[in-house]
Structure 1
């Protein structure tokens, strides 16, 4: 049986379409994916992302331990700085992609993907055996809201009375509200300005109700969360990253700090960067309005050369696009085809970002 977030009843009352995702029953849409997508691009939308996992790492070896399991570099990180990166297997495959929050000296708050909570928790505990740290999975305690869009800062301040206009991109802070300590951050997974609120499940329900009563933002499901992140080239674990897709293959080497003394998977990534990889993720823009989907075959001159990881008719730019894992010999501008049911549709290899981000920096 799937888990449910603290807002499940609210989603049902609002008439949301509920479907399984990452082991949870989650809202996919309330009105339509197009309407919710456009609300985030133009105004403000709010997502229940309480299905995400949260792990707290503390102890004298916390920094050393996080640097060991994480591809990015948290050495002497400023307090309240946030880092994006991956945990890797020794062969370079991806355990998960995650956000690491530096909360205090030797104290890190780590956000992981919902479908990977049990796997990540076991992996992190196994790697912690040689370090003086505690690994505390707090996923059942925390709920999380994501307030996203160009009006998100005004909504945060005017509706929730949470000061945030001075927030720097990819930073966080702790606040005392209603007698509990909450975490607020400014990252986003939509390509728009946005904030995340982490707190107890009771606190999150109260904030959701305040937001809905204000009519300043619309509830958004995971359907438009996927279309939004895809347009701006952000990966989804299980599609663009997996145990079989390394950061090098995914074009995410910038988040792997090869000048660190060591991290799990570093040797494999060094080898991939030195000797190359057989496949890489590439963007594809179709000539036609046909819609490519996950798992569809990519062909070059009639021969299979890869497979689609994500594909949509893009809402913001009205084009049919895909990201696909294809032979690394394919370059920008090359012509390919995508098999969609019994027909093939021509397209061009392009960059994976189809729409420009509008982050507040």
Structure 2
């Protein structure tokens, strides 16, 4: 646990302490790494339901007649045509095309949008949105401190949540959001997540976080889950993590996410010139999945080597996979690298790996 007085606590901090969580400094917040067994927490999400505290994430609101146009200019996606109640995965890029953050944008009303940013980048995203919205009839307001975010993820999540709300969950599609009450608490119910399973993310007033968590946690089979399980879940699902697969030195095209860049949208946007040029040029590297043949896990920063021992890539994320029962990793391979005969240099030993198309796991 960090002794840094500047580290923030989420509204659920005391709950995590009472549960005996291993708390660590993550993106400037004390967050639960695990409560007991990270493998058990991982499996609970794959088989039943896991409960996550995501209150460290940033919630930035844009409002006004020009809010949609401001987002079209600020982000790589075409957001203004979105219907009310819908969500979209997108990115905010620097002028050179490097990724400042990956985001989910929700349209809450005709002139109201919520941008959810990664905790470590929330201030960067806020400042960039303020700057880029300056010429539009829109206001930018960081409301991160007003909200707590609780995620219920897993194949039982709808069944469980239906016991607490009259919201039309069966009709709430993936990447949609609906305002309703959950356990008598006003909430924004989003069918989104970062685990590869069905699930919901619940935005509530910070003062209501403990009450909502305690109600959901009472349900038999609901298991509190920490950052470790969240990381292996998203890795199995092939979902990028900012700071690993995505950085300011990485473009969406290199990450295999060029589909989120809408070069044909009517609005000009920051980074368009650089990204348009990259769209016409094969990227210098590509993101792939690696499955280890042995039991030693590739880790972030380890080199990928060709059959002759020549370095040809770098691991961005790696861990033992509870679902597959073997170590897995995501890695960038240099352009032109043959995908056979590869290995990862694991502390001086070349461990053979097989290249696969992401994701490692996809729910049925």
TM interval, short-chain normalised: over 0.9
- Rounded Cα–Cα distance in structure 1 between residues aligned with 2:31 and 2:166: 27
Residue 181 of structure 1 deviates from its aligned partner by 4.1
CA-atom RMSD in angstroms: 1.6
- Rounded Cα–Cα distance in structure 2 between residues aligned with 1:330 and 1:138: 45
Matched residue, 2:31: 26
Are 2:278 and 1:278 aligned? no
Asked whether the equivalents of residues 156 and 162 of structure 1 are also in contact (C-alpha less than 8 Å), the reply is no
Matched residue, 2:351: 345
Tell me the SS of whatever aligns to 2:16: helix
Matched residue, 1:191: 196
Asked whether the equivalents of residues 68 and 263 of structure 1 are also in contact (C-alpha less than 8 Å), the reply is yes
What TM-score comes out, normalization by structure 1 length? Answer: 0.95
Q: Spell out structure 1 runs of 4+ moving beyond 3 A.
A: 159-163, 176-181
Are 2:88 and 1:86 aligned? no
Asked whether the equivalents of residues 189 and 229 of structure 1 are also in contact (C-alpha less than 8 Å), the reply is yes
Asked whether the equivalents of residues 9 and 29 of structure 2 are also in contact (C-alpha less than 8 Å), the reply is yes
Matched residue, 1:131: 136
Tell me the SS of whatever aligns to 2:294: coil
Asked whether the equivalents of residues 59 and 133 of structure 1 are also in contact (C-alpha less than 8 Å), the reply is yes
Residue 189 of structure 1 deviates from its aligned partner by 0.9
Asked whether the equivalents of residues 87 and 177 of structure 2 are also in contact (C-alpha less than 8 Å), the reply is yes
Tell me the SS of whatever aligns to 1:98: strand
- Rounded Cα–Cα distance in structure 2 between residues aligned with 1:319 and 1:71: 36
Which of these residues, 267, 291, 294, is aligned with residue 300 of structure 2?
294
- Rounded Cα–Cα distance in structure 2 between residues aligned with 1:214 and 1:350: 38
Which of these residues, 323, 327, 335, is aligned with residue 320 of structure 1?
327
- Rounded Cα–Cα distance in structure 2 between residues aligned with 1:128 and 1:217: 42
Residue 355 of structure 1 deviates from its aligned partner by 0.9
The 5-angstrom pairing of residues 45-84 of structure 1 reads: 45-84=50-89
Are 2:306 and 1:306 aligned? no
Residue 101 of structure 1 deviates from its aligned partner by 0.4
Matched residue, 1:212: 217
Deviation digits for residues 131-170 of structure 1 (CA, Å, limit 9, x no counterpart): 1110000000100000000000011111456552221111
- Rounded Cα–Cα distance in structure 2 between residues aligned with 1:349 and 1:153: 35
Runs of 5+ in structure 2 lacking a partner?
A: 1-5
Tell me the SS of whatever aligns to 1:150: coil
- Rounded Cα–Cα distance in structure 2 between residues aligned with 1:160 and 1:208: 14
Tell me the SS of whatever aligns to 2:31: strand
Which of these residues, 134, 143, 153, is aligned with residue 158 of structure 2?
153
Residue 17 of structure 1 deviates from its aligned partner by 0.7
Residue 76 of structure 1 deviates from its aligned partner by 2.2
Asked whether the equivalents of residues 191 and 200 of structure 2 are also in contact (C-alpha less than 8 Å), the reply is yes
Residue 212 of structure 1 deviates from its aligned partner by 1.9
Q: Number of aligned residue pairs: give it.
A: 357
Matched residue, 2:244: 239
Residue 335 of structure 1 deviates from its aligned partner by 2.5
Question: Compared with structure 1, are the counterparts of its residues 357 and 330 closer, same or farther at alpha carbon in structure 2 (3 Å cutoff)?
Answer: farther
- Rounded Cα–Cα distance in structure 2 between residues aligned with 1:278 and 1:169: 33
Which of these residues, 83, 91, 102, is aligned with residue 107 of structure 2?
102
Tell me the SS of whatever aligns to 2:42: helix
Matched residue, 1:265: 271
Residue 176 of structure 1 deviates from its aligned partner by 4.9
Residue 177 of structure 1 deviates from its aligned partner by 6.2
- Rounded Cα–Cα distance in structure 2 between residues aligned with 1:118 and 1:73: 23
